[in-house]
Amino acid sequence: MKSYLVKDGWVVNSINNTTRKRDLLIKGGKFCDLGEEDSKTESICAKGKYVMPGLLDLRCHLRQPGVNFKKSVDKISRSAASGGFTSILAMPELSSMADSPETIKYTQDSIIKEDKIKIHLTGCLTMGSLGKNLAPLGSLKEAGVISVTDCPNSPQDNQIFCKAIEYASMFNLPIIDLPRDLSLSPEAAAHESLLSLKLGLKGFPRMAEELYVSRAILLAKYTEAKIHLTSISSEGSVNLIQKAKQEGISITSDVTSNQLYYTEECIRKFDSFAKALPPFREKTDQDALLQGILTGSIDCISSGHQPYSFQDKSKEFDLAPAGTLGLENAFLQIFEKLKLNIKEKLRLIAKVMSTNPCKIMNLEPINYKRGTIADFFIFDPNGSSIIQRNYSDLGGINLPEERREFKGSICQTFVNGKILHKK
């Protein structure tokens, strides 16, 4: 296995909140002490660049329309690596719904781990993610899932959800919930606002999310279960979570990078490629979400990666499915949005996109210590990147924008000490 010496880079470590210039030796897929290199070690100059811990995405939908499962894994692995992600948490709609140990085993056997990013599996909270009958959570954990969820659905029956939480807690399984009361947002296509009213689109009100955020907070308080709220989108949700944390309630949450980057204005021309779940909301919501990241009220940033084909997204806005891509652009979006000096910015990104997600999922955060797995990427803040829709792609092409140029460039991404992406 090839070894590498990464020289003169600024190494970002959010665990001890440091950014310092140092060399890193990678040998046998792991970080090693300097001096252990040999004649075959390849030197990589990282002068003026930053070494970042590999990112972990807490919401990624693996299946791609028109692409078989193995090709879907290959494509998502490439997209993830190009965006600095070395691990993803796959939502339970896999080759089939992940509500049985057999499905989990089949999925694991289908994923060739060599030269791929790490794919951690979630299991269904309820059978088929339909919210009616509990899935066999204990058996799912034995089969290899690290958390359970019905995402992009949320159990609507409070009794079922409560039982599911109690059941999952017995096995120390984190519960992921995308908060949404369907009775308040049936067939919703956009954020409920004057704009959606003007466009004649059915609205998804903030209340539909905030009621279920409140539900999760109360259940976390009384059951002491590990509940993680994914893809929150409203100012009210941020306030509820902040208050809960001040009261000592153990609740965690994430927001998608696209939610931090776009507002409802991008659907003004009925662009179904910008139809997301939850929908992009108003500037006041976006500002509150960004402030939540800065204050720690929101723990993580996810991609919300949900591929759809051109055919699916070309339907009328009301009929088109809700979902956007996010793996390739998430890091670049947040690097642009955060108004901090570069070292503070990158330490915060490392915290909310790597360290915190690992802790929430009971995984070991990346710390560059000798003998630990070498998952990281090299970032050039002075470079540039262009992210655009690829209309020749048979799978997902549903970026919210046709084309966007970002400042900064992800030069190389290492997974298990191997280069999976090189620009």
Q: What is the DSSP letter of 399?
A: -
pLDDT category, 109, cuts 50, 70, 90? confident
Give the pLDDT mean for 75-88: 95
Mean pLDDT, residues 210-235 taken together: 96
pLDDT tens column, 225-270: 999 999 999 999 999 999 999 999 999 999 999 999 999 999 999 9
Distance between CA atoms of 271 and 279, rounded to whole angstroms?
13
91: nearest Cα among 387, 317, 322, 305: 305
Residue 65 has pLDDT above 80, yes or no: no
In the chain, where the domains are located: 55-365
What pLDDT does 395 receive? 65
User: Which of 27-41, 272-286, 323-337 is predicted least confidently?
Assistant: 27-41
- Is a pLDDT exceeding 90 seen at residue 133? yes
**pLDDT value at residue 245:** 97
What's the confidence (pLDDT) of residue 323?
Answer: 94
Lowest model confidence (mean pLDDT) among 58-67, 123-132, 304-313? 58-67
On average, the pLDDT of the chain sits at 94
Residues 108, 121: contact at Cβ < 8 Å?
yes
Fold of 55-365: TIM Barrel (3.20.20)
pLDDT at 422: 96
Helices 158-170 and 206-223: crossing angle in degrees, nearest 10, is: 40
- Provide the CA 254 distance to its chain's centre, in angstroms: 8
Residue 114 confidence (pLDDT): 66
In DSSP notation, 333-347 reads HHHHH--S-HHHHHH
> Between the CA of residue 230 and those of 244, 251, 315, what are the distances in Å?
16, 11, 27
| Residue 72 pLDDT class (50, 70, 90 cuts) | confident
Reported confidence tier of residue 71, pLDDT bands at 50, 70, 90: confident
- pLDDT at position 73 is 85
Q: What is the pLDDT of residues 327-362, one digit of tens each?
A: 999 999 999 999 999 999 999 999 999 999 999 999
Cis ω for the linkage preceding 278 (within 30 of 0):
yes
Is the pLDDT reported for residue 220 higher than 80? yes
